[in-house]
Chains A and B, each alone.
Chain A
């Protein structure tokens, strides 16, 4: 079925280190994938997206990797800062259809 799951519910990272948040998806027909960041008490915010015909996409301090062979998605955050503390969701979608979210990973930054 259409489901998106995550490998780890909570990730603790030292400030300044790189963070890697993982996501597994099940729908091989998904055309694109999106990472969202949700801070406490707020709605999710778009971070970065990647199309299914891409393997890697970079943004400001973030990189998303897509491995379609094993249906795996990851978000890498470089030089993690206290402001990166949040819950991160991956989501998958099919063009002109719905977007399905995963359960989320809480990123905790250690001082």
Chain B
């Protein structure tokens, strides 16, 4: 099993550009989430999903969209990149949420 796979690992965007961060898991986990991690800010929840077809907003959803058309995939879309979105993005999945998440290795995004 590959676990949680995030692509790309690194990305540089210009302000105003859009892009999609990919996240896939092969563990048949129902729960998936996206977090961003800024220095000194810990992990902040962007969007989360409790199953295919169901998504909800987290703490910092503005500027991001998600969809969950399959159990395996949970892409994160940046609509119009801004320097404030420079961060490390982590995708995570779980079979039972109270047992904790399995995290991907992250995508380091820089917006110039």
Contact = CB atoms under 8 A, between A and B. Distances in A.
A98 B43 contact: no
B40 A100 contact: no
A32 B42 contact: no
Interface in B23-46: 33, 35, 40-45
A61 B90 CA distance: 27
B100 A34 contact: yes
Interface string B65-104: 0000000000000000000000000101000011111111
Given A49-B98, A95-B97, A96-B97, A89 B103 contact: no
Given A99-B45, A101-B44, A43 B97 contact: no
B105 interface: yes
Contacts of A44: 43, 90, 101, 103
Interface residues of A, number: 24
A96 B50 contact: yes
B33 A99 contact: yes
Given A32-B98, A93-B97, A101-B42, A43 B33 contact: no
Contacts of B40: 9, 103
> Chain B CB within 10 Å — which of A36, A43, A45 has the most?
A43
Interface of A: 9, 31-32, 34, 36, 42-46, 49, 51, 89, 93, 95-104
Interface of B: 4, 33, 35, 40-45, 48, 50, 56, 58-59, 90, 92, 97-106
Given A49-B100, A98-B33, 6 more contacts: A42-B105, A44-B90, A44-B101, A95-B98, A99-B45, A101-B42
18 contacts: A9-B40, A42-B105, A42-B106, A43-B104, A44-B90, A44-B101, A45-B103, A46-B99, A46-B102, A89-B42, A95-B97, A96-B50, A99-B45, A99-B97, A99-B101, A101-B35, A101-B45, A103-B41
